[in-house]
Chains A and B, each alone.
Chain A
Amino acid sequence: MSGTGFTPNEMMTIAASRALKNDDVCFVGIGAPSAACNVARLTHAPDITLIYESGTIGTAPDVLPLSIGDGELCETAVTTVAVPEMFRYWLQGGRISIGFLGAAQLDKFGNINTTVIGDYFHPKTRLPGGGGAPEIATSSKEIYITMAQTKRGMVEKIDFFTSFGHGEGGDHRKRLGIDTSGPTLLITDLAIWKPDPVTKEFTVVSLHPGVTRQQVQESCGWVVKFAEALDETPAPSELELNTLRDLQARTRAAHEGTGKAKAA
């Protein structure tokens, strides 16, 4: 995307950050969700509550953590609680407004696989697994998902249900007794997607600047539905872009720093 001054990944992270509100309480996954949540905190949502599953509540790291338990998350938190308390009182207790997840495989109903590629008992690739995600997906009031689009990642049928989205669509969540909204937003490097109000199938509602419908379809494993009134995502502002780049530069320096000192 030369000439426009930002990369698709930067657009994705910034579009995701815009979705977060100042009064949100957000359960943050590592990677793109973590970058998006912290850009939101450093721009339009300074009071957003970020929670990592290590138990840090209201954390404000200066650099992006490599893991969900980096020391800085604890040092800058309002409070840090034990892991059982995190999952019992705060997540299961209904205190989280947004669960922000990434995915290795995703289907059009927002179901996520981060467990295995292939058969569970004889996997082609054993992925790390769900960690906190199975319950984040059902106990957070809403789920936002962010991932870069590929045909291998966005598939008609995921190999394993690590986290339940809208299942087979429609009222499937309700039929399982799940009373939270599930995935309400998908932000990729090409577009913003929202579930159809009835079928719950993710539908493209906004294309990022310069992106075509064809590009979205070519990097997606299912037949893409587009909203009738398709928006264009506003390009990143200078403030948003500088905030993200500064954050990533600080993060790179911090994570490389220990390695250099060690070699010395």
Chain B
Amino acid sequence: MVGAATCGRAAGAQNITKVIRDELASRQIEATVIEVGCMGHCYAEPLVLIQKPDNPTICYGYVSEGLASMLVREFIAGDDPCIEFALAAMEVNDFIPTFEDFPRGMVEKKVVMQHCGIIDPENIDHYIANGGYEALAKAIHKSGEEVVSEIKTSGLRGRGGAGFPTGVKWETCRQFKEDVKYVICNADEGDPGAFMDRTLLESNPHQVLEGLALAAHAVGASKGYLYIRAEYPLAVERIEKAINQAEESGLLGESILGTDFNLTLEIFQGSGAFVCGEETALIASMEGEPGIPRHRPPFPAEAGLWGKPTVINNVKTLSYIPHIIRKGADWFRETGTPDSPGTAVFALAGKVINTGLVEVPMGVTLSQLVYDVGSGIDGGKQFKAVQIGGPSGGCLPESFLETAIDFDSLNQAGAMMGSGGMVVMDEDDCMVEIARYFLDFTQNESCGKCTFCRLGTKQMLEILERITKGEGALEDIDTLLNLAKNVKTGSLCNLGKTAPNPVLSTLKHFRNEYEAHITEGRCPSLMCLNLIAYYILPDKCERSCDACIGSCPVESIFSNEDRIKVVDQEKCVKCKSCMDACPPQYSAVVKLSPPELVQEKENDNG
């Protein structure tokens, strides 16, 4: 089995698949090669799983072409499992540890990701063999009311960001006695840095379809849509196949499983506007309008698509449904915290060693995520903060590492669960720049309907830009706080209401960094391009080494009369190539902030 979700493909999985197929063919070995989804260990892509009779299933990581053919030769054709290249075994055995034996395994608890990466997403039988569609078969003979009540008791809260109780939403929609109702799966996932919905669609599409079918049965809808962003072609392709297979098996379509329940599902491709993830904007775009949110109430559950009662749920929310129906509300409540039961899926990125996707119980601490799951900070650097919840979230500093995270604790801390994107930052990351980055994003993506969201974020962005250029004034901080308050209250949808979060949280926890930019013209993390300069230390520069000169794309490094390399500050575009190129034993290239330091140093050197 080869991990071939988008992340695996980027790392070369398709090539690895080919190597394995060729090698098997040339040896005339009979084996099934399956392209599966993502197990979450993205840092070690490409991943290969080998299942051989009388052996534990073993997962190999960082698979190169050479290793791929070696595995076929030594393990499949011979009997050496090449333990030294194994990442872990999938089941307990005597010689290779399993994923559960690592610190990450202690924290991780898979529910919706349980079968990701180990079943064939394009084969409905794999899903069924693992208990798939059992929940639908069970629930279809119950009334919609019973299903709604089970979900209500489970305490499931929507995973699309706001954490609204799913059962309550369904109940509202169910109450309306209309002939036509809709269910929609929200797979727009516009957050930069978030890829968990995509992974679920690519790795276990039937799980989402079953959840959507259960939602339709519960509220009495017979038409459903999956709103998938067009940037996710593989997800669209796999969902399309899954719908066809489910229809052929009588699990979707007319009189499902011989009952009078009908459901047709269709894919609608989103077109790349972040605000369209907001449910009323999503509906507008399906109706052929620009995706502009409208006032709620009425909520979509009362009057949604084409004015009909409509349930909209996130991919993850729907993926939990079959499990809850199958194993019961009490089982679901065993995990997580009383107010946020169940698990949460996080996309861990940034400066941790083991990036990837992880599913953990609600209520784990940030430090468990960063250190146990992520194995800590890359390159021996100092941890600085976690940016959580994407553009609507905030930055939490070290003092929050022991906070148990769930919907409410994160809101209290000034961040948000959002969709679960988590970016870890170290000492080299500038918090002012991060705030500027997210504001640039929201400013760009604002639909422009509300004055505060449109103009307030623009003004905040301008201030932040000035500060990162060293042109800020101390009053700017108060202006920012003021604007933040107004944008929060003056915006209609959550894009505007949460846009100031990154600014507020960085101001709260890292105010000193703002002040250093403003009063000293200095970026403490040496990140803001206008406030740094590249400088070559004369006493460290190895005179005959030309590595930096060759690396500079704008030819701004020259040798002076002592054959020491010097950076022409006028020409330098601050691309860092020279710093990377300078051999580690010299490390002669440094960044200085403020840039005036260069002049001082040069004067010192005569």
Q: Are A and B associated in one complex?
A: no
Residues of A within 8 A of B (CB): none
Residues of B within 8 A of A (CB): none
